[in-house]
Every structure is written in C-alpha cells, then in structure tokens.
Structure 1
C-alpha cells in the first residue's frame, strides 16, 4: 500500500528535467542495481545508517514507494556512523551526492556552505508546520534564521536505567541532585552492579552536561570558543565530579568501551545506567536481544548551578540537500516523506524514537518514561552541550575525557591539556 507524500505530491519532481546523479559505488549500497524505474532518473543518497538497521529498513521501504510513485530510483549508499567524518570531504571533493543525513546539528554546522536553503523549494512552508517548534527553532538558529535541514527521528537525552536493578538496589526515587545521584550509584554498586557505563564516542556528553549544570550552555560555549578552561573554576569542578565517580568505582571497569559495547552492558545485566539519547533502548534491544524495562531521569542538578531538569539535549537526525544537485526538489520531497506522516510513525514505532511530525503524538512504550520530562523542558542544549561544534577540537576533548574516566589523568591535567591544545 502506497503512503502519501506530505509535500506537493511531487508535482515539481514529476515535471522538472533533471540530470542523472552518478554517485560512487559501495559494497553496502542496497539499491544500486536498479535501472532507475520508469523515468531513468536516479538520485544518490548517502545514509548514516547501516543497511541492517531498522532505520534503514524504513528508509528503503520509503525509497521503493517513492520510486513507484515517481519513477525515480534512489541509489542509497549505507555509510553508517562514519558519515560524520566522510561527508565534509566528499562534498568538498565534488562527489555526486544529492541527499545525505547525519545529526541535524552537524549537518548545518559542518556542511552549511554546501546546502540548499530549503525555503527555495516547493512545500517547505507546509513542512515547517509539521516540525516541533523546539526542533525547528534550533535548526534555524544554526542557519541564521534559514532552514537547511529536514529533521527526522527526534531524540531527547538523559540517564536511561534498568528499573529492575533500581528495585533490587532499594532505589525508590530517581535522583534530582548530584548528591542524590552519588547515593543511588552507591546503592547500585552495593547490589552488585556497575552503576554507570558509557561508550568512548559519547563521553563528551558526561563532561558537557556536568559543566552546563554549573554554568549553562552559553557559558560552556564561551569557554569552548575562547579557550577559557583555566579561567573558569567550574570547568575544573566538573572534571573533579567525574573523577569522584571514578574514584568511588561507579563506572564499569570497561568504561569507556568502544561503541556499542559500553551500552550493551545494560542489556547483559552488568551495568545499570547510561547517559545518552532516546535511541539507547532500541540499540540495546537490537544488539543484545534483551528487552530491558527502562526508566529515565534528567542529568541531576549541582549545588550552586544554574540548570536542572528543564535543560536537556534535544535534537534529531537531519537530511541535507546538496546545492549542486540537479534534483533538489525531488530530494526534499523524499526527505519530507520520511520525516512526516506514515513513514515518520513507522520509524518511531520501529526504532522506539520520538515522532518528528507533530501530527503523530504517541510515543513508543520503550521510551515513554522520558515523555513527562520532555514536555517540561524549556532549555534545549546542543549535542554534547556544544562541545562537538568544532570538528578539530572535539577529538581533543574526547581523548582527555576518556583519560579522565580511565583514571589516567587528574582534573588538573585535564584542564591543562584542554588549555594547551586550543
């Protein structure tokens, strides 16, 4: 059964004269063998997903329906999470890419110079009416008021935990303050579990959240952009707090583990909590086959801090359309097809994500524990509270947070390393 497109029924796509995109081949290109359907036209899309993931299955289904509707074949190259390191170089080199996706902040912040202003495309105003205001406002803020990305698969961020472990440890209430959080960690440890686990590629969330609880995101970004690490006492204090978790044995002995080994410890019954986004329950289920009953709470507030449960990382994945593409309208129509209506609902139910379309209001059960907090959120942090907005410096922060969690450096060493590197 065909699903309807939200934008203008692809009127422009059906009548415009387009050049055929070439697109490089890929061993993981699930759609590269088609002859282009009835039109002979082909669109090249680089995807952040692997072909075996549930997101890919929904996208492939949409691509097949799109081809049936328009005769335009979509050549999908499944790049996986390497997309964030591949796409900038590929666009700069002039690769024949019509459409790509990644975290919506990275799409705009790192590749804006290569993107189409979506307001120039037919159906963009109608599409904006389907986007959550908090998502639309953030996306436009990075583009100085212009929308350059089609957001989909919305997420929120906080601590996901195994409810059964909390119950066994005698934890009856989720922590709201740092001291309460430390108390919960000790109870979980006493019950025989690792209180915290993490992946090495997401440790910037830990440091970013803790620092932002003290000084807020704007001050974190000022510290980040102006190399004020040694001049902001809270920067060292946040590092000391993470060191406290290390010294008390609250991290898994494997932390930080390579993705996805760290988060998988929850599915295997070894660790209890992980700070990450709302895709975590689905990824753990897919990787371990274990259906964990997940609870959720926002990262705790700190004494003397400025932010609490009202502030969280919220965002989405996002499609970007290459301004050099001859199929801009068609790429937009396909992207909005996935981000709205039936396919948005199918994506949410298939991967336990927050629906992106405001017309789709029901959250999957696996992430329902986060919904009450999401509705009360008034401050939207960027991913890693902005610590990943500089692709040159982000790896340095990541490297040193990893060392901090491994106990290889002190908080003083941590601050010195950041200050010296920037």
Structure 2
C-alpha cells in the first residue's frame, strides 16, 4: 500500500492492543478527541449497526485506535438497520456525514450520486488487491467501472439449518437437497419429526422469491422482467409463486412466517424451526439473540426442473462504506474504512461475528460458517441481493408486501402476479 494507508493500518493495529476499550451509547462514540494531543478534527460516521452488536464493538475499537494514531475523533451515530431508509434522505438534505455503511449494493445503487470515486484517493489501487475479485467486479459493475464503495464483512447466501434437528429428522450430510423435489422431501421429514421445516423474516422474503425465479431463468432475465414490469408475460414469475404456495399449502413454513426481524430466524435458536434462507451472518445472529450454541449446516438453494441455475449461482456480497463527495475528509474516511476492511480488524470482525474475511490475505473461515466454504469456492455466478429485486427503492416494498401475503396464504399465485403487475 502507499505509505499513508500502510501507516494507518499498521500503526492502528499495534495501538489497538492498548486502546481504552469500546465506546458508548447510540448517540456517538464517546468523548475521545479531547486529549491535548488531538488534532481537533472530527469525522461523522453513520453506522448500520446498533452499538450493542459485535460489529459495533470491533468498529469502535478501530475508531479508538485511529484517533490515537491520527488525532481525529470519529463521531459514530449507530443507526441500525434503519440505515437503508435513512441515508438517502439524509444525503439529499445535506446532512453533515463523512462516512456511512450499508449493504454494498445499496450503497452504490441508491446513493452513487453522493459518493466520491475512490480512485481519486491515495491507496485505492493497493486496496483493490485485497478485495475478492467477485466482490470487486460486482461493485464496479454498479459504478460503471468505477469503485464507489469499500466492501467489508463478506457474505454468501443459502439455506442454514440446525444440525441437531436435521439429525433428529433422520437426515445426514448426504441428504442435502440439490433439487426442489428433494428439498420438499427434506421438508416433509423435518415436519414429521415435529419441527417447522422453514422460517423467515418479513424483511427478507424477497430472497425466497428471487432465488426461486432465478433458478428457472437466471438473474439477467429476472432483472429484465423486474425493470420492464413484465410479470404477467414471464412464465417463471408465476411458476416461482406457485412453488412457494406449494410449500405453504404443505405446511412447510412456520405458522408465524413471515415474522418480524429477528423473530422469524430466532425460531431456530428456540428449537421451533429448522431452516432459513439467508446470508452467512445468520448463525451468529441466531446464537447471540437466543443464547443458543447451535451448530449450523448449509446448502445452496436448490435447482428446479428445466431451470438454468443451480448451486453455482448464489447471492454473494458484503457490507460497504460510502464516502460523501461533499466531505472535506475524504482521504481520512477512506483510510479508516480500509482499516476495517483489511488486516487485523478484518480478522477480528470475522472471528467476532462469524463472517467471511473480506481481505484476500485472510483465508481462514470461522467454524460456525465453515459448512458453506466448499460451495462458495465452487460458485461461478454471483447474484445481487434478492437477485436484484431490491434495486428499486420504490418498488421493493411492493414486492415484499406481496411475497409476505403469498407466504401467509393471504393471496394466490395469480393474485400475487396481478398485484405486482398493477403496482408497477
């Protein structure tokens, strides 16, 4: 790396062992920066995490070390998952924000007009060498070849299941389904064992519909249908809805599904449900939220008869930092963001929250998500989050609302297609 970035990363890593612990409440990162050696500068960072989460503790530790190294105090405002609805309005209103984070696709797709092109900053070229190619290529594809986001906390997506329940249902590693028909057979065995086969959160149901539709026609065709509002003329759109309705009618979803986040996924930790389709942060969240100590298995969302995609295609991505182009601390914000995304802090983040390391030099996965690693290495097609069904901030809630109704049994597949067609 260029000297400035190397200095921040290496010095901060050494200082981290001496830093004065984690910060504070949701209002900010504490009272640092008041020491006599401080620079008097402050950086404002809006975070997608809550202050009590493990991610926040790692970030706060890094912020303390960064301040010790540079004298710059980072004022962290812990916004939680509301970030995705707050940040666009805040940037448009000219809020004093230097740095923020969210899902890296949303950062670029929804706020690119407010972001700095990172190639204008010192150390960007070297930073790129630390980013997984599949993540870097995706991020640049949304930015018309330019990088506008610093990816961190990489994830992959598929079906996570409670290994104890799986075994109680008489299932083994060899029974991991690869086709939708096999998936239904697995669901029936889990139901016969006295558990809900599937659970889900209401805010992530677009994953289920997106995956199922993409298994038939691939992401590009899903996006074409989505962008053109051509739901009524795309057979796979109806077929995917019919497949989900079949799972509902067979009683394979939890009777509470879709539940509010995180109540749906927490059913696994409470011993009620066995499987959930979501990203690789799920095992950690469930164990933390429910005080459980579960072992999780993993398999990709299954293929469908006559479809074009299978286990080689998955949603893969990361959280990401965006830097406000109106900020007068662009370089400093970039240095801090890359400090989180590489080296020791990347390793600490991965071990603290059981996530995939984002730095290509950090190669060991935490044991909690290791079951997904072989599939990740074989993946050749990277879907967007929800297979692109969340690339339109105005239409995403409509898709979500109607998939929720479908899973609750409040609408038929035909009514589902009619509703989203009329809305778009």
Please list the CA deviations of residues 156-202 of structure 1 after superposition, one character each: whole Å capped at 9, or x if unmatched.
00000011111111122100000000000000000000000000000
- Contact kept? 1:6, 1:336, Cα under 8 Å: no
- Contact kept? 1:156, 1:374, Cα under 8 Å: yes
Matched, 1:31 2:29: yes
Matched, 1:54 2:54: yes
**Who is 1:240 aligned against?**
242
- Looking at structure 1, the residues matched to 119 and 373 of structure 2 have their Cα atoms a distance apart, in angstroms, of 31
**Who is 2:21 aligned against?**
none
Residues 345, 6 of structure 1: CA spacing in aligned structure 2 closer, same or farther, 3 A cutoff? farther
1:178 to 177, 180, 188: 180
CA apart distance, 1:30: 3.3
- Looking at structure 2, the residues matched to 223 and 98 of structure 1 have their Cα atoms a distance apart, in angstroms, of 36
**Who is 1:7 aligned against?**
5
Deviates more, 1:405-414 or 1:166-175: 166-175
CA apart distance, 1:33: 3.3
- Looking at structure 1, the residues matched to 293 and 225 of structure 2 have their Cα atoms a distance apart, in angstroms, of 41
How is 1:235-314 mapped onto 2 (pairs within 5 angstroms)? Answer: 235-314=237-316
- Looking at structure 2, the residues matched to 228 and 170 of structure 1 have their Cα atoms a distance apart, in angstroms, of 43
- Contact kept? 1:10, 1:330, Cα under 8 Å: no
1:321 to 318, 323, 334: 323
**Who is 2:157 aligned against?**
157
- Looking at structure 2, the residues matched to 307 and 36 of structure 1 have their Cα atoms a distance apart, in angstroms, of 56
**Who is 1:392 aligned against?**
394
**Who is 2:66 aligned against?**
66
- Contact kept? 2:33, 2:72, Cα under 8 Å: no
**Who is 2:15 aligned against?**
none
Equivalent residues, number: 405
CA apart distance, 1:27: 6.8
- Looking at structure 2, the residues matched to 27 and 71 of structure 1 have their Cα atoms a distance apart, in angstroms, of 21
2:383 to 371, 376, 381: 381
**Who is 1:225 aligned against?**
227
**Who is 1:403 aligned against?**
405
**Who is 1:19 aligned against?**
none
- Contact kept? 1:7, 1:126, Cα under 8 Å: no
Matched, 1:210 2:212: yes
TM-score by length of 2: 0.94
Matched, 1:421 2:417: no
Residues 116, 31 of structure 1: CA spacing in aligned structure 2 closer, same or farther, 3 A cutoff? same
TM-score by length of 1: 0.94
- Looking at structure 1, the residues matched to 233 and 139 of structure 2 have their Cα atoms a distance apart, in angstroms, of 31
- Looking at structure 2, the residues matched to 306 and 70 of structure 1 have their Cα atoms a distance apart, in angstroms, of 52
Q: Which runs of 5+ in 1 are unaligned?
A: 12-25
